[in-house]
């Protein structure tokens, strides 16, 4: 499932409405980098909450390929004592990134911690408090078009697939043609 930036805006707006309907008013929005960065920024705008921070969690190494366990790639340097925090990612896929970040944040003496994602996968070990859609499909977000295209191309070439067929498959998947061309040029 390949999403556009328009798709993301509407999904994020729906997520903000869901959060508002629960009367959650977080003091700070914390995005899990890298996937949660855009969603966090959009929620900040839609919810009119300018206090934003990032926690870096590394986990994915390729398409459907992960490390055994997540690692902290960027510390959070804020004092979160007695703060209401909304932790945000794009998807709860395996659940391990969320679990890692929640454990990390709970050690910071928060008043309240809630979680949100655009998508939740039923096989995930972590179900966010707020999400818009449940899916088992592989999701390609617009902020990862280039990365996905490079990895897809590499895997298909390793399988000795024809370059033109790979290009046509990427376009059928709805990867924008300009992205495919950019990856081929570089």
Weakly modelled stretches of the chain, pLDDT under 50: none
Residues 23 and 108 in one domain: yes
**The predicted structure's pLDDT at residue 122:** 97
Residues 12 and 70 in one domain: yes
Residues 89 and 163 in one domain: no
Residues 113 and 174 in one domain: no
Residues 41 and 117 in one domain: yes
**The predicted structure's pLDDT at residue 64:** 55
**The predicted structure's pLDDT at residue 80:** 94
* Token pair of 167 as six digits: 């290009």
**The predicted structure's pLDDT at residue 67:** 64
Residues with Cβ within 8 Å of residue 173, at least 6 apart in sequence: 2, 140
Contact between 175 and 2 under an 8 Å Cβ cutoff? The reply is yes
Q: Which residues of 170-183 are buried (b: 16+ CB within 10 A; e: fewer)?
A: beeeebeeebbeeb
Residues 154 and 69 in one domain: no
Question: How many separate domains does the chain show?
Answer: 2
Residues 177 and 121 in one domain: no
Residues 20 and 56 in one domain: yes
In angstroms, rounded to a whole number, what is the distance separating the alpha carbons of residues 110 and 183? 43
Residues 156 and 129 in one domain: no
Residues 28 and 85 in one domain: yes
Residues 37 and 9 in one domain: yes
Contact between 32 and 98 under an 8 Å Cβ cutoff? The reply is yes
**The predicted structure's pLDDT at residue 65:** 56
150, with CB counted inside 10 A (0-12, 13-18, 19+), is middle
Nearest to 167 by CA among 183, 145, 143, 186: 183
**The predicted structure's pLDDT at residue 74:** 84
pLDDT in tens, 88-134: 999 999 999 999 999 999 999 999 999 999 999 999 999 999 999 99
Expressed as residue numbers, the domain containing 157 is 143-185
């Amino acid at each position: 499932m390949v999403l556009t930036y328009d798709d993301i805006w509407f999904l994020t707006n729906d997520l903000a409405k869901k959060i508002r309907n629960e009367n959650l008013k977080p003091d700070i929005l914390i995005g899990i980098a890298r996937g949660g960065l855009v969603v966090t920024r959009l929620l900040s705008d839609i919810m009119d909450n300018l206090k934003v921070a990032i926690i870096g969690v590394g986990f994915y190494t390729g398409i459907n390929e992960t490390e055994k366990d997540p690692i902290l790639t960027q510390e959070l340097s804020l004092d979160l004592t007695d703060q209401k925090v909304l932790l945000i990612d794009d998807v709860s896929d395996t659940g391990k990134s969320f679990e890692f970040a929640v454990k990390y944040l709970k050690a910071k003496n928060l008043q309240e911690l809630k979680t949100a994602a655009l998508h939740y996968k039923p096989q995930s070990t972590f179900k966010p408090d707020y999400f818009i859609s449940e899916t088992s499909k592989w999701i390609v977000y617009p902020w990862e078009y280039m990365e996905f295209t490079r990895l897809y191309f590499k895997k298909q070439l390793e399988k000795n697939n024809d370059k033109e067929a790979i290009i046509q498959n990427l376009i059928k998947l709805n990867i924008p043609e300009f992205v495919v061309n950019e990856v081929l040029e570089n």
